[in-house]
C-alpha cells in the first residue's frame, strides 16, 4: 500500500521482545505497528529482542499494516547495531527516538537506503522547538508524539484535558502540516483499560489535526480506528457539499450553501480529503 496515502489511525507499539504480541499483531485491525527496541525493552533484553524482531519481520504476515521499527537512539550503545541487523528485513519505516535537531536525523539517514522513510519521536522540549526544521528534513515522513517523555522533561502534570502539553501538540501538528505529506501521530493513552478516557483523548487528538494515535494495547484499537475515521454524517455532508458546489458552479455561482453553512472551494478541498480518507480506509480493510 502506498505509504503516502494510507491511513494511520491506529499505530500499535509492540515490544520487540514479546513473541506472543508479535504473533498476535498479525491478526489485529491496526493500521500500523511500531516494533519497539527502545523504551519497551529492558537493557539486558536488547540483543535478544533485536534477533526476535528480525525473525518476525522476515517471517512477515503483517499484511497491509505499515511496519515501523523503533531503534534505540544512535547515541546509545544499541542504536547502530539495531540498524545493522534490521535495515534489510522488510521494515517500511525507521523511527528514531530522542531526536533534538535535524542533524540527529542525518546520522540515521546516512545508515539507511535513500528510499527508507524516517519518522521522528517528538519527545524532548528541544525537539518541539525545532519541529519545523525537523519536519522539513527531506528524509522525514512522520512525527510521533512522545507524551510521556515530554511530560517527564517538562515536569508538567498529567491532566485529562492535556492543557500542559497543548503548545507541544499543536506545534507538532503545525510542523507536519507546514511540510507537505508529513504524518502526525498523537501520543499514547496510559490507562489502557479505560475506554471512555481513551475515546475522549482520541477525539481531542483528531480535532487538533493528528492523523492517528499511538497505542499500547490491542483493546485500544477499535475505539481509535473509529475516532480517526470520518463518521457517516461527515461523509454524507462531504458528498452533499461537493455536489452543491458543483451545481452552483454550473450555474455560475462561486459558493453554495449546505445545512445553513457556506461552502467555498476550500471546503470542497476538505470534503474531497474526507472521501479520500474513507477510500484509503476501505482499501486497508479489503483483503
Ligand atoms: N501488541 C500486541 N499484542 C499485545 C500487546 C501489544 N502492544 N499488548 C498485549 N498484547 C496481547 C498479549 O500478548 C495478550 O495476548 P494473548 O491473550 O493472546 O496471549 C493479550 O494482548 C492481552 O494482553 P494483556 O494480558 O491484557 O496485557 P498485559 O497485562 O500482559 O500487558 C502491557 C500490558 C501494557 C504491559 C502490554 O500491553 C505492553 O507491553 N504494551 C506495549 C508497551 C510498549 O510498547 N511501550 C512502549 C511505547 S509507550
Ligand atoms: Mg520515549
What pLDDT is stored for residue 165 in this prediction?
A: 98
Ligand 1 pocket check: which of 17, 151, 216, 221 to mutate, most ligand atoms within 8 Å of Cβ? Answer: 216
What pLDDT is stored for residue 193 in this prediction?
A: 97
Ligand 1 pocket check: which of 12, 67, 218 to mutate, most ligand atoms within 8 Å of Cβ? Answer: 218
Residue 40 CB less than 6 A away from ligand 1: yes
The per-residue DSSP string of the chain comes to --TTTS--SEEEEEETT-HHHHHHGGGS--SEEEEESSTTS-GGGHHHHHHHHHHHHHH---TTSEEEEEPPPTTSSSHHHHHHHHTTSS-SEEEE-S--SHHHHHHHHTTS-TT--EEEEE-SHHHHHTHHHHHHSTTEEEEEE-HHHHHHHHT----TT-GGGHHHHHHHHHHHHHSTT-EEEE---S-TT-HHHHHHHHHHHHHHT-SEEEESSGGGHHHHHHHTSPPHHHHHHHHHHHHHHHHHHHTT-S-EEETTEEE-HHHHHHHHHHHHHHHHHHHHH--
Residue 237 CB less than 6 A away from ligand 1: no
Residue 28 CA, closest ligand 1 atom number? 2
Residue 26 CB less than 6 A away from ligand 1: no
Residue 216 CB less than 6 A away from ligand 1: yes
Tens of pLDDT, residue by residue over 183-206, are: 999 999 999 999 999 999 999 999
Protein residue with its CA nearest to atom 23 in ligand 1: 217
Residue 188 CB less than 6 A away from ligand 1: yes
Residue 165 CB less than 6 A away from ligand 1: no
Residue 96 CB less than 6 A away from ligand 1: no
Protein residue with its CA nearest to atom 40 in ligand 1: 216
pTM: 0.97
Residue 142 CB less than 6 A away from ligand 1: no
Residue 127 CB less than 6 A away from ligand 1: no
Residue 15 CA, closest ligand 1 atom number? 44
What pLDDT is stored for residue 287 in this prediction?
A: 66
> What is the mean predicted confidence (pLDDT) over 152-160?
98
Tens of pLDDT, residue by residue over 20-67, are: 999 999 999 999 999 999 999 999 999 999 999 999 999 999 999 999
Asked if pLDDT for residue 68 goes beyond 90, the answer is yes
Amino acid at each position: 500500500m502506498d505509504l503516502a496515502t494510507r491511513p494511520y489511525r491506529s499505530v500499535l507499539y509492540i515490544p520487540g521482545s514479546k513473541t506472543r504480541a508479535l504473533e498476535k499483531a498479525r491478526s489485529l485491525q491496526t493500521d500500523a505497528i511500531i516494533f519497539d527496541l527502545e523504551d519497551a525493552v529492558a537493557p539486558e533484553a536488547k540483543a535478544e529482542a533485536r534477533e526476535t524482531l528480525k525473525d518476525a519481520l522476515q517471517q512477515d504476515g503483517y499484511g497491509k499494516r505499515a511496519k515501523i521499527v523503533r531503534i534505540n537512539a544512535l547515541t546509545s550503545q544499541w542504536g547502530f547495531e539495531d540498524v545493522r541487523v534490521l535495515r534489510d528485513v522488510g521494515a517500511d519505516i525507521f523511527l528514531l527516538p530522542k531526536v533534538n535537531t535535524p542533524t540527529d536525523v542525518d546520522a540515521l539517514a546516512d545508515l539507511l537506503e535513500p528510499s527508507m522513510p524516517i519518522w521522528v519521536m517528538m519527545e524532548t522540549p528541544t525537539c518541539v522547538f525545532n519541529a519545523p526544521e525537523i519536519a522539513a528534513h527531506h528524509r522525514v515522513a512522520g512525527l510521533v508524539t512522545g507524551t510521556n517523555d515530554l511530560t517527564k522533561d517538562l515536569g508538567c502534570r498529567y491532566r485529562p484535558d492535556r492543557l500542559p502539553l497543548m503548545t507541544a501538540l499543536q506545534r507538532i501538528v503545525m510542523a507536519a502540516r507546514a511540510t507537505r505529506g508529513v504524518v502526525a501521530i498523537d501520543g499514547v493513552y496510559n490507562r489502557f483499560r479505560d475506554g471512555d478516557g481513551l475515546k475522549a483523548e482520541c477525539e481531542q487528538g483528531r480535532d487538533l489535526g493528528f492523523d492517528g494515535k499511538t497505542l499500547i494495547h490491542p483493546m485500544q484499537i477499535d475505539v481509535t480506528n473509529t475516532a480517526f475515521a470520518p463518521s457517516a454524517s461527515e461523509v454524507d455532508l462531504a458528498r452533499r457539499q461537493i455536489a452543491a458546489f458543483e451545481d452552483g458552479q454550473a450555474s455560475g455561482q462561486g459558493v453554495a450553501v449546505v445545512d445553513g453553512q457556506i461552502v467555498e472551494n476550500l471546503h470542497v478541498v476538505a470534503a474531497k480529503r474526507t472521501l479520500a480518507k474513507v477510500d484509503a480506509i476501505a482499501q486497508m480493510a479489503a483483503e
